[in-house]
Amino acid sequence: MKQIILGKTGIKTKSIGFGGIPVQRVNEDEAVKTVIEAVKLGVNYFDSARGYTVSESFIGKALKQIGREKVVLASKAPPVDYDGFESEVKKSLDAFDTSYIDLYQLHNVKTVKEIDLAFSEKGAYKAFEKLKKEGKVLHFGITAHKREVLEYAIEKYGKKIETIMFPYNIVESQGVEMFRQAKKAGIGTIAMKPLGGGNIDDISLALRYVLQNDFIDIAIPGMGNIDECRADTSFSDLPLTDEEKAKCEQIKNELGNDFCRRCSYCAPCTAGIDIPGIFTLQVYLKKYGLGDWAKSRYVAMKKTAADCIQCGECEKRCPYNLDIIKRMREIKEIFEK
């Protein structure tokens, strides 16, 4: 892991940060141990979100043992209006149990209209300026899954934006030019989903692929247990060989773009189905041929694909536009025939 400076924030950290989605899936004890291990391994950048349920509070509990000042805390929330942003920051401060957050980001901004709102007189940026004066939030960033939205934000409001976060990994390179432009403008660049949402098995290869580019400052793989912390921090800084580049191409061809990143943005399912959990079982079945194992896990689930009432709520929230209802039908066919 290299030492980096996160664009104009001036934050000094390592090139690998702690992605806070997976700790919400383990218990508090395990989450605390995982955060402590990550710090021992040299990680000092922690990314969470209001939407990641207990993630902020679990990280906050670990910080009581580690020392708040030893880490950089980043979080995010969707509201682009003044009151909504201020209120979510307050909830994050309470959940982390801290007096300040280093970086607060607008989470998954979907339209240019929302961007304009965020920077209007009644927008989130004005609230950030107030919170900054109070010492509660130090820096402001934006995350999105739609490139055109971030491009617009950089073009129009780039002087105010200190970081951007966007997917970048072996199979998702649509943000390269935008990252380059951001870097030129002094904006810190954060790669989300560096492991393709857990779909790329060769962690070392995946992280080296992302970090060999000077347009990426930091990658934030999800870490949900001690083994993942170790795997995500033990890769070399060597450039990719021709053989490794060929392997990246092979992974790209095999995965395509139509796969679940396990981000849980589709939650909550109206019928209580664990959508990414069910999709993961389908991957195990297809990719590794673990039929019996996957089936036993499937039948043990409280709600299965058969419970889908096809309301479509999840599809509205999936940033990758996955055809979730159709997949649920297919999975039901596979596992319940």
Query: In the complex, what is the shortest distance from the CB of residue 266 to ligand SF4, in angstroms, rounded to a whole number?
Result: 3
Residues recorded for the chain:
337
Q: Report CA 9 to chain centroid distance, whole Å.
A: 20
Residue 6 is encoded by which pair of tokens? 């996160």
Q: Which is nearer to ligand SF4, 161 or 269 (CB)?
A: 269
What residues from 232 to 261 belong to the interface with ligand SF4 (CB under 6 A)?
260-261
* Interface with ligand SF4: number of residues (CB under 6 A): 26
Residues contacting 5, CB < 8 A, separation 6+? 11, 12, 217
| Residue environment code for 70-99, b if the CB has 16+ CB neighbours within 10 A, otherwise e | ebbbbbbbbbbbbeebbebbeebbebbebe
Asked if 21 and 58 count as a contact pair (C-beta separation under 8 A), the reply is: no
- Give CA separation, 295 vs 170, 218, 254, 286, 292, in Å: 30, 38, 23, 12, 5
According to the binding rule CB under 6 A, does residue 270 interact with ligand SF4? yes
Cβ proximity to ligand SF4: between 170 and 324 the closer is 324
Considering the complex, what minimum distance in angstroms separates the CB of residue 70 from ligand SF4?
32
Told to check if 322 binds ligand SF4 by CB under 6 A, we report: yes
* Cα angle, residue 266 at apex, residues 263 and 271 outer, rounded to 5°: 130
Q: Assess 171 for contact with ligand SF4 (CB under 6 A).
A: no
Q: Is 273 in the site for ligand SF4 (CB under 6 A)?
A: yes
- Both tokens of residue 164? 């951007």
- DSSP state letters, 105-121: EE-S---HHHHHHHTST
Which one of 6, 328, 331, 335 is in contact with ligand SF4 (CB under 6 A)? 328
Residue span binding ligand SF4 (CB under 6 A) among the ranges 24-32, 78-86, 162-170, 268-276: 268-276
Cβ of residue 145: shortest distance to ligand SF4, in angstroms? Answer: 9
With CB under 6 A as the contact rule, which of the stretches 3-11, 68-76, 236-244, 322-330 interacts with ligand SF4?
A: 322-330
CB of 206 to ligand SF4, least distance (A): 17
In the complex, what is the shortest distance from the CB of residue 317 to ligand SF4, in angstroms, rounded to a whole number?
6
Under the binding rule (CB under 6 A), the answer on residue 314 touching ligand SF4 is yes
Figure out which of the listed residues 25, 324, 331, 335 binds ligand SF4, where binding follows CB under 6 A.
324
Side-chain-facing half-sphere of 67: CA atoms under 13 Å: 5
Site for ligand SF4 in 79-98 (CB under 6 A): none
Q: Which residue has the tokens 């950290």?
A: 13
What the block records as the tokens of 191 is 């790669």
Told to check if 263 binds ligand SF4 by CB under 6 A, we report yes
Choose, by CB under 6 A, the member of 26, 313, 332, 334 that binds ligand SF4.
313
Site for ligand SF4 in 281-310 (CB under 6 A): 308-310
Determine how β-strand 3-6 pairs with β-strand 11-14: antiparallel
**Based on CB atoms, which residue is closest to ligand SF4, 96 or 279?**
279
Q: Does the footprint of ligand SF4 cover residue 21 (CB under 6 A)?
A: no
Distance of CA 249 to the CA centre of its chain: 23
The site for ligand SF4 (CB under 6 A) is made up of 260-266, 269-271, 273, 275-276, 308-314, 318, 320, 322, 324-325, 328
